[in-house]
């Protein structure tokens, strides 16, 4: 199962791992339940009391790109989901002679071989991985933001890991927990943090001498950080597109991606979804025409949205109303786009970094320190909400979503900006600094377009509220915020009975 080819691709996949008293059939059953994350190939290996499994989507190098990946002497093994964006730098640091493939996952393998768990600090990207040696050493890790999902069950006889909740047997579901981002775990060392979602050195941000007045140097630094993050996520041997909602954030991503595509003489497909006549479809069309992209529109009918509702709840493994509303059109869009590209860029994270949501501008967040604390908190909680939707709706069809605004350098820069610069004032709207940074890159009408939730702009909100007007009976001890949420919870509970609400909702669970 070596990954020997020089053209081994980045891997879109799902992983399962186990350490302890191994039940191979149980592990295989778990892996089979997440086959949608990588329907083209299944790989597994057992060494002693450790088992690793991998579901792969073959993008290139079908014969040589399988995982588990191993070193030349077959003493170490790795399964990984996601991307290591700085893999070329790691190759240079460790020495190209160590590497046999072009895979970014191999950079993680050798970083761990050379440095042990400390090697995780080298990795910049989105990942969930499991690593073992032939003599039984074992490590699991998840990226600092939790862009890539990972769950675990700790039993007395075995510890189990998987990319999605659905992988676990019903008997294990009450024990399932979300594996914490930025942590690694070993049987001997336990759970150890290796990276923070928001590095401590950017908190609290410095205070602005002149709130709302920024110089061209700051505007340029924001623009350059975002451009670099988008371009790093464009490097691939496969087709890449952009989910274009018609809002500011996805328009910026599309604009940078379009410039990159033109320089490299490659097409840029963009994809938009909405109800007939929805504002999102109209705005996305304006952006696509301005940038000259290969644009695709999915017109979401009421019937299609309601039919997709239970599929969306099961796909995202979640029942938060705002998340479900946006997941339904996202799922329909992903199903269409996955037939044309293997990866898409999205605008996730910009609102949390630059204070795009309306509630950020209401009490108590009109105080700069309170606003800064809330921005940090919401970035740290993204793995429970938007990132969960982002991963699941795309991976339901074996397609990867990439989130350039959540690049580590962008996060560090954005959260080091004085919070006063993100607050509303006469003549300024939300995310004014970001708008200034990309003036001329997107149409003026989009640059000045106000924030609209994706579920609202796409037209999904009204359709889905009408679909769940009657509140179902809820399990004892569960109290929810609305009939709509109760309806979504009922769908979720029917598929994930036994899973505790806090496992998927984290801080937002209501019991």
| Percent over 70 (pLDDT), the chain | 90
pLDDT at 281: 94
Q: How would you label 448-477 residue by residue, b for 16+ Cβ within 10 Å and e otherwise? A: ebebebbbbbbbbbebbeebbeeeeeeeee
Residue with the two structure tokens 């696509």: 288
Same domain, 271 and 154: no
Q: Between these two residues, 391 and 464, which has the higher pLDDT value? A: 391
Q: Residue 156: is its pLDDT beyond 50?
A: yes
Q: Residue 358: is its pLDDT beyond 50?
A: yes
pLDDT at 506: 54
What is the Cα–Cα distance from 94 to 96, expressed in whole angstroms?
7
Who contacts 167 (Cβ-Cβ below 8 Å, separation ≥6)? 14, 16, 30, 31, 33, 34, 151
Same domain, 176 and 48: yes
* 339 within some domain: yes
Q: Residue 65: is its pLDDT beyond 80?
A: no
* 476 within some domain: no
Count of domains observed in the chain: 2
pLDDT in tens, 277-333: 888 999 999 999 999 999 999 999 989 999 999 999 999 999 998 899 999 999 999
Same domain, 120 and 230: no
Asked whether 127 and 144 are in contact (CB, 8 A), the reply is no
* 473 within some domain: no
* 204 within some domain: no
pLDDT at 347: 97
Give the range among 118-122, 206-210, 374-378, 468-472 with minimum mean pLDDT.
468-472
Same domain, 278 and 321: yes
Q: Of 127, 130, 108, 129, nearest to 119 (Cα)?
A: 108
338: containing domain? 225-465
CATH code, 53:
3.60.20.10
Tokens read off for 280: 């999102």
Tokens read off for 466: 């009408």
Asked whether 336 and 308 are in contact (CB, 8 A), the reply is no
Question: Which of the four pLDDT bands, split at 50, 70 and 90, describes residue 456?
Answer: low
Same domain, 269 and 418: yes
Q: Of 326, 332, 330, 324, nearest to 489 (Cα)?
A: 324
* Averaged pLDDT score across all residues of the chain: 89
pLDDT at 502: 80
pLDDT at 6: 35
* 218 within some domain: no
* 501 within some domain: no
Q: Between these two residues, 6 and 86, which has the higher pLDDT value? A: 86
Question: Which of the four pLDDT bands, split at 50, 70 and 90, describes residue 487?
Answer: confident
**13 catalytic per annotation:** yes
pLDDT at 136: 86
pTM over 0.75: yes
pLDDT at 205: 64
| 511 burial via Cβ count (<10 Å: 0-12, 13-18, 19+) | exposed
pLDDT in tens, 404-454: 999 999 999 999 999 999 999 888 999 999 999 999 999 999 998 877 655
Annotated binding site for L-glutamine: 104
Q: Of 134, 146, 22, nearest to 81 (Cα)?
A: 146
Q: Residue 57: is its pLDDT beyond 80?
A: no
CATH code, 393:
3.40.50.620
pLDDT in tens, 255-277: 999 999 999 999 999 999 998 88
Same domain, 156 and 253: no
* 261 within some domain: yes
Same domain, 179 and 234: no
- Is residue 68 reached through a cis peptide bond, with omega within 30 degrees of 0 on the bond before it? yes
pLDDT in tens, 163-220: 999 999 999 999 999 999 999 999 999 999 999 999 877 766 677 878 878 999 999 9
Reduced to 3 states (helix: H, G, I; strand: E, B; else coil), residue 186 is: strand
Same domain, 447 and 394: yes
Q: Between these two residues, 185 and 13, which has the higher pLDDT value? A: 185
Q: Residue 3: is its pLDDT beyond 50?
A: no
Q: Between these two residues, 65 and 36, which has the higher pLDDT value? A: 36
Catalytic residue among 13, 27, 184, 390: 13
Asked whether 380 and 200 are in contact (CB, 8 A), the reply is no
* 251 within some domain: yes
pLDDT in tens, 328-352: 999 999 999 999 998 999 999 999 9
Same domain, 188 and 232: no
Same domain, 451 and 327: yes
Same domain, 335 and 189: no
Same domain, 157 and 281: no
| Percent over 90 (pLDDT), the chain | 71
Question: Which of the four pLDDT bands, split at 50, 70 and 90, describes residue 63?
Answer: very low
Annotated binding site: 104, 273
């Amino acid at each position: 199962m070596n990954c020997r080819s020089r053209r081994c691709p980045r891997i879109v996949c799902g992983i399962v791992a186990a350490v302890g008293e191994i039940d191979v059939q149980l592990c295989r059953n778990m892996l089979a339940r997440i086959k949608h994350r990588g329907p083209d190939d299944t790989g597994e290996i057992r060494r002693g009391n450790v088992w690793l499994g991998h579901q792969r989507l073959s993008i290139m190098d079908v014969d040589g790109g399988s995982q588990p990946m191993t070193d030349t002497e077959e003493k170490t093994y790795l399964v990984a989901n996601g991307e290591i964006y700085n893999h070329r730098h790691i190759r240079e640091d460790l020495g190209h002679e160590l590497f046999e493939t072009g895979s970014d996952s191999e950079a993680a393998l050798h970083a761990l071989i050379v440095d042990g768990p400390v090697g995780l600090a080298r990795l910049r990207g989105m990942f969930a991985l499991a690593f073992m040696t032939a003599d039984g050493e074992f490590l699991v890790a998840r990226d600092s933001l939790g862009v890539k999902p990972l769950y675990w069950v700790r039993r007395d006889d075995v510890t189990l890991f998987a990319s999605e909740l659905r992988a676990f047997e019903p008997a294990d579901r009450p024990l399932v927990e979300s594996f914490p981002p930025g942590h690694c775990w070993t049987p001997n060392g336990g759970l150890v943090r290796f990276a923070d979602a928001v590095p401590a050195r950017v908190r609290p941000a410095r205070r602005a001498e002149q709130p709302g007045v920024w110089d061209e140097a700051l505007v340029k630094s924001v623009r350059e950080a975002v451009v670099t993050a988008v371009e790093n996520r464009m490097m691939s041997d496969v087709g890449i597109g952009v989910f274009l909602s018609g809002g500011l954030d996805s328009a910026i991503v599309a604009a940078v991606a379009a410039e990159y595509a033109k320089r490299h003489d490659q097409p840029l497909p963009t994809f938009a979804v909405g109800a007939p006549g929805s504002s999102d479809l109209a705005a996305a069309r304006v952006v696509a025409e301005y940038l000259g992209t290969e644009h695709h529109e999915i017109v979401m009918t009421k019937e299609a949205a309601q039919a997709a509702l239970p599929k969306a709840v099961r796909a995202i493994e979640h029942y938060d109303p705002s998340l479900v509303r946006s997941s339904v059109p996202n799922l329909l869009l992903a199903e269409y786009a996955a037939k044309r590209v293997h990866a898409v860029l999205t605008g996730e994270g910009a609102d949390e970094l630059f204070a795009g949501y309306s509630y950020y501008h209401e009490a108590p967040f009109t105080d700069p320190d309170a606003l800064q604390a809330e921005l940090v908190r919401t970035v740290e909680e993204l793995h429970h909400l938007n990132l969960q939707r982002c991963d699941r709706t795309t991976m339901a069809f074996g397609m990867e979503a990439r989130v350039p605004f959540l690049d580590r350098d962008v996060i560090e820069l954005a959260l080091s900006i004085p919070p006063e610069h993100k607050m509303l004032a006469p003549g300024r709207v939300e995310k004014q600094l970001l708008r200034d940074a990309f003036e001329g890159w997107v149409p003026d009408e989009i640059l000045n377009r106000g924030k609209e939730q994706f579920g609202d702009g796409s037209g999904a909100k009204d359709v889905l509220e009408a679909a769940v007007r009657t509140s179902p009976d809820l399990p004892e001890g569960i109290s929810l915020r609305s009939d709509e949420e109760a309806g979504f919870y009922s769908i979720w509970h029917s598929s994930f009975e036994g899973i505790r609400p806090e496992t998927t909702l984290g801080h937002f669970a209501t019991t």
